[in-house]
Amino acid sequence: MLVRELRQRPHSWSEYKENCSFPTLPFHAVEWVLQWTAYYLSRWALLEVLEYLSVLSVLVAVIFYFTESGDRQKQKHYQAWQVINTAQGKGGSGGRIEALQELNRDHVPLVGVNAAGAFLQGVQLPGANLLRAGLEASDLRDSNLQAVNLEYASLSWANFREANLSRAKLLAADLSNADLANADLSGADLRNANLKDVEWKEIRSIEGANIQGVRNAPQGFTAWALQHKAVNSPPSLP
């Protein structure tokens, strides 16, 4: 904001030029004219009004920016969902990695999202709500799905190699033919999950995972899981 000060009345030209040397007199003449211009403008109320109006316009712009922030966020979420829905049934990422991550960062539930067959390698979705999601045959290698909710999700033929599924909720999820090589399933809830033909022998960790009632478990899986500190018990009462 500009600070306006009331200027003193400049000297007359005859008084001013007494202190000026002749060779530089033209330059002093310009300076003298500018001093008088500044003097008159400093007394012009219109300039002060315009200054206040400029400050007011900035204030109004700031207010509108914050009042419309909700609409901008809704527009951003709409565009993210549009990317996800447009890419349904297509291979590749199609921008879905960024869209899913953006929605999850804003704590938008991803319930029922359909990304079957999508290339989602390295996607970061910790704590996401993917209840009943359709991720069959999707590539989720190296993904961060820590504490994600995948209850009743369709995950058949999905590739979870090197994925972090620790504390994931996989209650009644369909993991048939899924690849869990080097995946971290520590603390995961696998109760009633369908494990038909799942690739399990190279699971990195299953410590603390609950395998009660798993369906179609491959031969040797249950014994191996319990040996590696999985549990087979009903959930504790709240």
Q: What is the CATH code for 74-232? A: 2.160.20.80
pLDDT at 61: 72
Domain residue extents for the chain: 17-67, 74-232
Rounded to the nearest angstrom, the gap between the alpha carbon of residue 4 and the centroid of all alpha carbons in its chain is: 45
DSSP class of residue 35 equals H
Instruction: Tell me the C-alpha distance between 156 and 224, whole Å.
Output: 22
pLDDT at 233: 85
Non-local (6+) Cβ contacts of 167 within 8 A are 146, 147, 186, 187, 188
Q: What is the dihedral of CA 226, 229, 235, 238, to 10 degrees?
A: 170
Single out the residue of 111, 89, 178 nearest to residue 100, CA to CA.
111
> Which CA distances in Å does 131 have to 148, 168, 173, 202, 234?
9, 11, 9, 26, 21
Residue 158 tokens read as 């999905």
pLDDT at 1: 47
Single out the residue of 16, 41, 42, 43 nearest to residue 31, CA to CA.
16
Residue that has been written with the tokens 């300039």 in this structure: 47
Residue 16 contacts residue 24 (beta carbons within 8 Å): no
pLDDT at 19: 64
Work out the angle at residue 146's Cα, subtended by the Cα atoms of residues 185 and 191, and round it to the nearest 5 degrees: 45
- 10-residue mean pLDDT profile of the chain (238 residues): values are 59 65 61 67 62 72 65 85 88 89 95 95 97 97 98 98 98 98 97 97 96 96 97 71
SS3 66: helix
